[in-house]
Structures are given as C-alpha cells and as structure tokens.
Amino acid sequence: MKKRLRLIIADDHSLFRQGLKELLLLQPEVEVVGEVGQFSELALMITTTPCDLLLLDLQMERWVAGDIERLSRVTRIVVLTASERKEDAVAALRMGAYAFVQKRYAVETLIEAIRSAAQGQVWMPPALRAELATQFRSPVSSPLSNRETEVVRCVAAGLRNAEVAQRLSIGESTVKTHLNNIFQKVGVRDRVELALYAFRFGLAEDHRGQG
C-alpha cells in the first residue's frame, strides 16, 4: 500500500480548519497528522510531529510570509491563503514555498497542489501563472544552448543545484555558471521566475497548475 502524505494544517480560522480537515480525510492519499490555530504553536508542532507537507495560512495572529524560509528547512510548504495578490504568491515561492493556493479554489485544486509539492514541483493557479509569465521575453537574440535548456528543465522540475549537477553529470559550480548565463539571456531574476519562463515557452512538462 502506498504511503499516505502526512499533512499539518496551520490556520487561525477554526471553522475553515475543521472543514478542510474533514474534506482531506476523504482523500485516501493524505493524512492530517496535526493542526494549529496559532502560529506561535507551529514550531513545536512541526518539530514533534513528522510531516511531509505544511498547509500554511499567511495571515494568522500576524503576517507569517517572512517565516516561510525557516519553516521550509523542516518540511515542504503549501501556502493556503485568501490573498489574491500576485506579489504574495511570488514572495512565498521565493522564500521556499512549493505551492500557492487561494482559499476560493475547490479542494480538488488543493489536492493537485499537494501532489505537485510532494513531488518537488512548484505550483500556482494556472491563471496566476499565465499572468506572471507574460513579462518574460523569448531569448531570440541569444538562444539557449542544449545544455542550458537541460538546466532550465531541471529547475522547472524543482531540482536544486546539487541535484541538477548529479542528473547532468556536471559540477555544481558549472550549474551556477549556466544559471547566471540563463538569467541574463531570458531576463529573469531567480529560479521561481525561471520556472515560470520554462512553462511559458514549453521548456518543461506541464503539471497543470504548476508554476
């Protein structure tokens, strides 16, 4: 039997948290192993309760987006929020979240995001991803080399530099050099923007909402 994904829910709205928990209990592939209503309780929860993913509301007793980087060292994070601001989505992903889901979406969308995050894929709603991706230009004057394209595909698949180096049988310093060249060619600032670029120009497999 396939191991179920262990989830912790962190949200300060008790009715929403309970409703979400009941919906997730209907999903055979996931298991809710903990829940907290106060961000101050979360550090203890994730260090004493092993989990695969944290479903994190950005606004609890305070705005917690700045804590994502620290939390992401312990577990993968799926941001689940009422925020509609694209800036919040990009900021959360840059801080280390794997997915950004607005609360207005159906549970099926959340399950899709959970699956992607569990596989190490970056995810956001298709409409938001498309809106963000329109800013990127195609590198017509300086096309990507075959090796650079391979690096882009790896980044879009959620691989870190060491994993890219291992997959492509090159040094990690070489990966960093390729990324610097790629950023300049396509006009992106970081790995999140590069993943969005990859999906806009068909350089990665499309996992529907994946960003």
Residue 122: closest CA among 41, 207, 37: 207
What DSSP state is assigned to residue 103?
T
State the average pLDDT over residues 115-144: 76
Res 140: pLDDT? 57
Alpha-carbon distance of 178 to 79, in angstroms, equals 30
Task: For residue 158, report the phi and psi dihedrals to the nearest 5 degrees.
Answer: 90, 10
pLDDT band, very low/low/confident/very high, at 210 (cuts 50, 70, 90): very low
Contact partners, residue 28, CB within 8 Å, separation at least 6: 4
SS3 51: coil
pLDDT digits (tens, 9 = 90+) for 147-183: 999 999 998 887 889 889 999 999 999 999 999 999 9
Give mean pLDDT, residues 95-116. Answer: 90
Percent of the chain past pLDDT 70, that is, above it, reads 91
Q: Kindly report the length of the chain.
A: 211
pLDDT category at 190 given cuts 50, 70, 90 is confident
CB contact at 8 A, 151 and 182: yes
Q: Which residue has the tokens 């994070």?
A: 77
What is 5-124's CATH number, 3.30.1130.10, 3.40.50.2300, 3.10.20.740, 2.40.30.10?
3.40.50.2300
Of the chain, the end-to-end C-alpha distance in Å amounts to 30
State the Rg of the chain over Cα: 18
133-200 CATH: 1.10.10.10
At 209 the pLDDT is: 44
Q: What's the pLDDT score for residue 180?
A: 93
Instruction: Read off the DSSP letter of residue 31.
Output: E
Does the pLDDT of residue 133 top 80, yes or no? no
Q: In the chain, what are the helix, strand and coil shares in percent, each to the nearest 5?
A: 50, 15, 35
pLDDT confidence of residue 207: 44
pLDDT of 135 over the 90 cut: no
Interatomic CA distance for residues 184 and 189, integer angstroms: 8
Distance CA 97, CA 132 (A): 17
Q: Model-level pTM? A: 0.75
Average pLDDT value for the chain: 86
The domain locations on the chain are: 5-124, 133-200
69-78, 123-132, 185-194, 198-207: least confidently modelled range: 198-207
